[in-house]
Amino acid sequence: MTTTPPELDSSLCLGIETSCDETAASVVSGRATVLSSVVSSQMVHAEYGGVVPELAARAHMKAIVPVVEAALSESNVAWSDLSLVAVTHTPGLMGALLVGLPFAKALSYSLGRPFIGVNHIEGHIFALRLEHPELEPPFLAAVLSGGHTELLVVEDWCRYLPLGSTIDDACGEAFDKVAKLLGLPYPGGAEVEKLSHEGRESIHFPVPDPGGYDFSFSGLKTAVLYHRRDHPDTPRADVAASFQRAAVAAVTNRVEQGVRKTGFRVVGVSGGVAANGYLRERLAELARRHEFRLLIPRPAFCTDNAAMIAAAGIERFARFGPSPLDLPAAARTPLA
């Protein structure tokens, strides 16, 4: 049984995302039909080798109006057609959140349409629904991004049971830091993957295992650092491929453990790192071995986008109604 009211089928939700270094807007109709998804990635951080919060906020200010306008025009939707405005209000860089959030509030107020704040991690979970509209909980999910690494049970939409998370660096953060050690440009995850294609998995970096369902990636990053120091002549591609093998094995081991212990036959994996082709292959292998259904969104829905924020906002609004207009931004909030 669905709790979504019937009028939602014809609704049009504008989603807005400005929590880190992507300014994104999207129009989603019904529960998860993407009419447009515009993502503007900020290039300004490349020369610093990482996201500079103040520059991110300024770049969002410049991009927000044209990005939202592009999302509306690409979907052929007028401002007055919108029925809901959804926006990321947590977690993220405070200055970056404080561009999208007030923009969405002002828009909702001026249009006389409800406003809903969305947790970015919940957005990544709803990316699964964009790709698989028929998907229904319960299922096991892993969110692997630049800021988060979470293994959880989606008991129902908007109701989660956390199993484990990283005790130090996030999975994507480890890819970014190793990219930096290898002299690759930022953002580094996709660069490490590209370089790995040319290398051999010749170095046996230990697969991190802090116990339970938790993850840990900082020791692996340090192992790469020491290896570079002690063996500067090892081809960078071999280091990249060997790191990628260990980082991905840490993820597949946890997913395997989760499937074994919980017995779920459906597993969704999302977040920026889920765009990684090697990870997707290893997970597909695991799914064949353990006979579970593996769902991974297309890469454009794995990395940050606003369609996933709209999809989460639509479900949250249907279940709990709108957010108050004084909803604050928060740098960190666990998934409720």
Which residues of the shown chain bind ligand KG4 in the complex (CB under 6 A)? Answer: 20, 145-147, 172-173, 175-176, 187-190, 193, 271-273, 275-276, 303-304
172 touches, from ligand KG4, Zn ion, none (C-beta below 5 to 8 Å by class): ligand KG4
CB of 127 to ligand KG4, least distance (A): 9
Cβ-count burial 237-255 (b if 16+ within 10 Å, e if not) = bbbbbbbbbbbbbbbbebb
Q: Give phi and psi for 157, each to the nearest 5.
A: -60, 135
Q: Which residue has the tokens 């666990």?
A: 334
Q: Which is nearer to ligand KG4, 11 or 37 (CB)?
A: 37
305 binds Zn ion (CB under 5 A): no
CB of 239 to Zn ion, least distance (A): 26
CB of 6 to Zn ion, least distance (A): 32
**Piece of 65-73, 138-146, 175-183, 228-236 that binds Zn ion (CB under 5 A):** 138-146
304 binds Zn ion (CB under 5 A): yes
Q: Which is nearer to Zn ion, 131 or 304 (CB)?
A: 304
Return all residues near 8 (Cβ < 8 A) that are at least 6 apart: 30, 31, 314, 318
Answer yes or no: are the C-beta atoms of 73 and 1 closer than 8 Å.
no
Nearest Cα neighbor of 199 from 231, 232, 251, 245 is 245
Q: Which is nearer to ligand KG4, 17 or 315 (CB)?
A: 17
Q: Which is nearer to Zn ion, 52 or 77 (CB)?
A: 52
18 binds Zn ion (CB under 5 A): no
Interface residue with Zn ion, options 23, 40, 88, 145 (CB under 5 A): 145
Q: Give the count of beta carbons closer than 10 Å to the beta carbon of residue 297.
A: 25
Nearest Cα neighbor of 168 from 136, 115, 225, 210 is 210
Q: Which is nearer to ligand KG4, 147 or 268 (CB)?
A: 147
Q: What's the CA gap between 204 and 202, in Å, rounded?
A: 7
CB of 109 to Zn ion, least distance (A): 27
Q: What's the CA gap between 90 and 93, in Å, rounded?
A: 9
Bridge partners of 141? Answer: 152, 268
36 binds Zn ion (CB under 5 A): no
CB of 299 to ligand KG4, least distance (A): 7
Interface residue list for Zn ion (CB under 5 A): 145, 304
